[in-house]
Amino acid sequence: MRACSKLVRGCLKHTTLRVNYARELFLINILWSVYLLYRPMIASNKTFRRLKSKFSYVEALSVSGNKSVISSPNHTKNNTKVLKYDRLLATGFGDRISVYLSVAAAAATVGADVYVYWHDNPSNQRGCSVCSLRFESIQSFVQWPANLYVLREVDFQEKTRHMDAIEFDKKGLLVSYYAFDGIYTTAWKTFGLSSMLPQLSRDAFELSYRKVALEMRIKCQLHESHECQYVNMSKFIVLHFRGGDKMAPLSEFNTVKVLRRIPGHVPVVVVTDDDSRLNAMLSMAAPYGANITRLHQLPDELANRMRDFAVLLKATGIIQHAVNAWSSYSSVPAMMRGIPLLNTWIGHEEADIITNIRKSRRSLRNAEQSMKDAEEDHNDSERVTWKQKVLEEKKNLSLLQQKHLKFQNASSVGLLRYFEENGGCPVELRSSKRNEEISVFLNTVVSLMQER
């Protein structure tokens, strides 16, 4: 009896139980054999009862990023619920982050931890834009929220087999596309929780989103392979010029107008994936007063992407040149840190209307000049013809201007309009369709820059 108790106490005192899974199993087998051998004599021993309780489970180690935890006992001890979100996201970095933050917020709202998995895109699936998004590479750059555990795809099913799932795309839920699952005003309506858990509400979800978003950070400045220098300014505007696979004619954007209205003392840092189209836009915008700064390119594509994302997180304001009034790569940092963002897309139809208005004005000027020339030549038949043409051009111009006014009265376009119609647009995200929105954005950002 004394020998057994001494053995057990020694094991508890001197054995490191978290070395690895194999040592735990070995130790459990030894102690269980001792228990079977001396069971009649030590059934009432308190030390052994504590030991038996400590090893009443056989769980694999759960590895999440740089964190290694034994899932079941930790969650049981802390009385923390555990959920999973079993969804393949074969998308870009911004889209994945938008969804994972929303999932973490949903879990945090009900006091739970949540497990997701990171899909490694095959290099031939979506081209080089996402081919570097490997789990191991991403983990070295990202510090996840405390309640979010990101696993390798191959480990996820086994480790989360017995966890309750956060459901999506089910009857009664808002669809999990159009970015509805990535913004805090609508994401809570895309998730379904067990009936045993409190149901989500917008106010509680938004509070949780703010908390988990602040916990996520990009740590590329600590990456051994690259020196990811940030901008050496404390306050600045970021111009996110989105090109690549989302190219659209520059005439569909207000970017030139916005750039010309930025005060000359305001620094503007450019983040782009399309240098050639950016240069074309800057040539159109010249002369402008803004102090444009470009970031130097790092030798690694992923390091560049992480550095640019980190710069967006530090911005005082964001000007977003992106079609359909949305790019998760810059919209998500705006929501994470409460940064004012102005999207400059005005839409296809409005761009066509503006072009037609310009053409109509030229035609009207030509018709008026021709009518004046006919009057000076005393050519009555020509004068009557051109007078009729002037009336037609004025009518056409008036109709186009009325149609343009209808578009201008709309507060937003693209996905921002979808957000407004399905629960509200995040307060950080604004469209530049209205001139007053441009003024509000610039005044707000300049005011923030003047604060100490």
Tens of pLDDT along 174-219?
999 889 999 999 999 999 998 888 889 999 999 999 999 999 999 8
Selected residue with higher pLDDT from 96 and 226:
96
Q: Averaged over 115-143, what is the pLDDT?
A: 75
Q: Are 354 and 422 in contact, with CB atoms under 8 Å apart?
A: no
Q: How confident is the model at residue 49 (pLDDT cuts 50, 70, 90)?
A: very low
Whether residue 429 lies inside any domain: the answer is no
Q: How confident is the model at residue 271 (pLDDT cuts 50, 70, 90)?
A: very high
Residue 320 has pLDDT above 60, yes or no: yes
Q: Are 194 and 167 in contact, with CB atoms under 8 Å apart?
A: no
Q: Which of 69-78, 278-287, 292-301 has the lowest mean pLDDT?
A: 69-78
416-424: Cβ within 8 A, 24+ apart: 416/325, 416/326, 416/343, 417/325, 418/178, 418/180, 419/179, 419/180, 419/183, 419/185, 419/186, 422/174, 422/180, 422/186, 422/189, 423/174, 423/185, 423/186, 423/189, 423/202, 424/185, 424/186
Q: Are 357 and 367 in contact, with CB atoms under 8 Å apart?
A: no
Q: Averaged over 75-86, what is the pLDDT?
A: 76
Most confident of 4-18, 30-44, 145-159: 145-159
CATH number at residue 366: 1.20.58
Q: Are residues 228 and 327 in the same domain?
A: yes
Q: Collect all residues with Cβ–Cβ distance below 8 Å to 308 and sequence separation of at least 6.
A: 271, 295
Helix, strand, or coil (residue 300): coil
Whether residue 450 lies inside any domain: the answer is no
Cis upstream peptide for 340 (omega within 30°): no
Measuring CA to CA, which residue among 141, 121, 117 is closest to residue 132? 121
Q: Are residues 52 and 83 in the same domain?
A: no
Q: What is the pLDDT of residue 301?
A: 85
Whether residue 318 lies inside any domain: the answer is yes
Whether residue 68 lies inside any domain: the answer is yes
Q: Are residues 319 and 361 in the same domain?
A: no
Q: Most distant CA pair in the chain: distance in Å? A: 129
**Alpha carbon of 42 to those of 30, 39, 54, 127, 351: distances in Å?**
16, 5, 17, 65, 85
Q: Are residues 97 and 127 in the same domain?
A: yes
Structural domain boundaries, residue 10: 2-58
Burial class (CB in 10 A: 0-12, 13-18, 19+), 45: middle
Q: Averaged over 367-379, what is the pLDDT?
A: 88
Q: Are 65 and 142 in contact, with CB atoms under 8 Å apart?
A: yes
Q: Are residues 44 and 96 in the same domain?
A: no
Domain boundary among 157, 187, 218: 218
Q: Are residues 283 and 144 in the same domain?
A: no
**Alpha carbon of 446 to those of 126, 331, 442: distances in Å?**
39, 20, 6
Q: Are residues 363 and 381 in the same domain?
A: yes
Domain boundary among 169, 196, 218: 218
Q: Averaged over 225-245, what is the pLDDT?
A: 77
